[in-house]
Amino acid sequence: MARVLVTGGCGFIGSHLCQALVSRGDRVRVLDDLSTGLEENLMPGAELIVADVGDPDALARAMEGMEVCFHLAAVASVERGVRDPRGTHRVNLSATVGVFDEARERGVTVVYASSAAVYGDLDVLPIVEDAPTRPLSAYGADKLGCEQHARVAGVAHGVRTAGFRFFNVFGPRQDPRSPYSGVISIFCERLSHGQPVTIFGDGGQTRDFVAVGDVVAALLAGERVASRGAPVFNVCTGRSTSVLELAGTIAEVCGVRADIRFEVARSGEIRRSLGSRARGRDVLGLAEPRALRAGLEDVIAWMRAGRPGLRVREEVGVSR
Ligand code: NAD
Ligand code: UD1
């Protein structure tokens, strides 16, 4: 039974990770300010500290007695970083430097979320981890900064880390309500209610959509390989799907005819994104990822069930 801290544990990916950790018998503590996460996503059996990960006192309290920290807390919206680069930098990079520093004090291993946004728009596909990093957003630049600080924390201070560059993650508990939500959550929400969807551009743009269960598997494997060398891994499927194909598949799963409207492409849009999963497979031993269609069925089933969290709202084990 490990003692594990999950920052951002009430968020989309964090809630799935906590579910896996509690299920395997770990003692789980969550540090989350509930800015985008929901208290009803707190896994029963986990303890919750409601605080800002950038607050050094709260972070020290949260890390006390822990062996591993999964650091997922971030302003995960690229769009927010465009509007408020200083505010998002404080959470996405400065707070992460704080996490590595606190981990150094306490001998805690850190497994953290980076992003495929560190790559920017690359011509050579699939993207391997050694490809050039040329982020095109403040969000991507901050995530790359996290990786650089992980390396320094390892080399200079002996902190063991592993970083994960998630591609386009989807699954139950991903919030579909913002216009900047992931395309899968928006399309599933709209098509399951028989509403039209909008495709920006011609729909030929492609993404590597990875199911949240595969992200959790990668993070758990990361605990084993975390080292002073600060390794980084793609979290992807190595399969490419166009947005037009995606709309068609979701409509099929929903049993409706896709009503698609086309609008001009988003500015700064990446045309093709596809990751290589070779390192994750060979070094972490990650299994074949979940098929897109099966993952979409999970999302639709969750939406049809009324988008439940992991528990009913209650005040158990919460400190503020
Ligand atoms: P999310 O918004 O659902 O989860 C983030 C969690 O962090 C939320 O619970 C939020 O309340 C919490 N949080 C935010 N700021 C905080 C702060 N200052 N102090 C404490 N808690 C704070 O997003 P997610 O999709 O689950 O993302 C999790 C991680 O994965 C993030 O680091 C994100 O950048 C990264 N990531 C996600 C994707 C994706 O496709 N979802 C892709 C690449 C990287
Ligand atoms: C991600 C960010 C985005 C950022 C971009 C920069 C998320 C959820 N989005 O975009 O904010 O600008 O990285 O690298 O993290 N689409 C539609 N219709 C919709 C929604 C989306 O056609 O209603 C298209 C988009 O134009 C895009 C694709 O679907 O081509 C995927 O969109 P999205 O899920 O937002 O992810 P990214 O494009 O990877």
Which tens digits make up the pLDDT trace of 262-302?
999 987 788 999 999 999 999 999 999 999 999 999 999 99
pLDDT at 319 over 80: no
Is the same domain home to 155 and 260? no
Is the same domain home to 119 and 189? no
Is the same domain home to 91 and 75? yes
pLDDT tens-digit map of 68-110:
999 999 999 888 888 999 999 999 999 999 999 999 999 999 9
Is the same domain home to 219 and 247? no
> In the annotation, is 180 catalytic?
no
Give distance in angstroms: CA of 176 to centre of ligand 1: 15
- Report DSSP state, residue 139: H
Is the same domain home to 134 and 186? no
Give distance in angstroms: CA of 108 to centre of ligand 2: 35
State the pLDDT at residue 273: 95
- The reply to whether ligand 1 has any atom less than 6 angstroms from the CB of 14 is yes
Number of independent structural domains in the chain: 2
Residue 101 domain flag? yes
CA-79 nearest atom, ligand 2: 11
Q: Which pTM value belongs to this model?
A: 0.96
- The reply to whether ligand 2 has any atom less than 6 angstroms from the CB of 186 is yes
What domain range includes position 261? 172-208+239-273+290-304
Is the same domain home to 158 and 193? no
Is the same domain home to 66 and 76? yes
Is the same domain home to 23 and 61? yes
End-to-end CA distance of the chain: 26
Residue 314 domain flag? no
Closest CA to 113 of 74, 168, 159, 164: 164
Is the same domain home to 109 and 202? no
Q: What are phi and psi of 258, to 5 degrees?
A: -70, 125
Residue 229 domain flag? yes
Residue 139 domain flag? yes
Is the same domain home to 243 and 98? no
What token pair was written down for 135?
């982020």
State the pLDDT at residue 195: 96
Cβ(103)–Cβ(109) below 8 Å: yes
In this structure, the residue with its CA closest to atom 17 of ligand 2 is 199
- The reply to whether ligand 1 has any atom less than 6 angstroms from the CB of 70 is no
In this structure, the residue with its CA closest to atom 32 of ligand 2 is 183
Is the same domain home to 115 and 261? no
Instruction: Tell me which residue has tokens 């290589």.
Output: 276
Give distance in angstroms: CA of 16 to centre of ligand 1: 12
Closest CA to 178 of 30, 12, 10, 15: 12
173: which residues sit within 8 A by CB, 6+ positions away?
12, 15, 16, 41, 212, 302, 307, 309
Residue 265 domain flag? yes
pLDDT tens-digit map of 2-13:
999 999 999 999
In this structure, the residue with its CA closest to atom 4 of ligand 1 is 11
C-beta neighbour count of 134 within 10 angstroms: 13
Share of the chain above pLDDT 90, in %: 92
The CATH number linked to 298 is 3.90.25.10
C-beta neighbour count of 56 within 10 angstroms: 13
Q: What is the CA radius of gyration of the chain?
A: 19
What's the mean pLDDT when you consider all of the chain? 95
Confidence bin at 317 (pLDDT 50/70/90): low
pLDDT at 314 over 90: no
pLDDT tens-digit map of 143-202:
999 999 999 999 999 999 999 999 999 999 999 988 778 999 999 999 999 999 999 999
Task: Tell which wins on pLDDT, 279 or 313.
Answer: 279
The CATH number linked to 32 is 3.40.50.720
Residue 320 domain flag? no
Q: What is the C-alpha to C-alpha distance for residues 17 and 19, in angstroms, rounded to an integer?
A: 5
Q: What is the 3-state secondary structure (H, E, C) of 45-97?
A: CCEEEECCCCCHHHHHHHHCCCCEEEECCCCCCHHHHHHCHHHHHHHHHHHHH
- The reply to whether ligand 1 has any atom less than 6 angstroms from the CB of 236 is no
Is the same domain home to 204 and 258? yes
Instruction: Tell me which residue has tokens 């920006």.
Output: 200
Which amino acid type is present at position 30?
V
Confidence bin at 318 (pLDDT 50/70/90): low
* Mean pLDDT (whole number) for 37-48: 96
Residue 18 domain flag? yes
Residue 312 domain flag? no
In this structure, the residue with its CA closest to atom 34 of ligand 1 is 76
pLDDT at 315 over 60: no
pLDDT tens-digit map of 200-209:
999 999 999 9
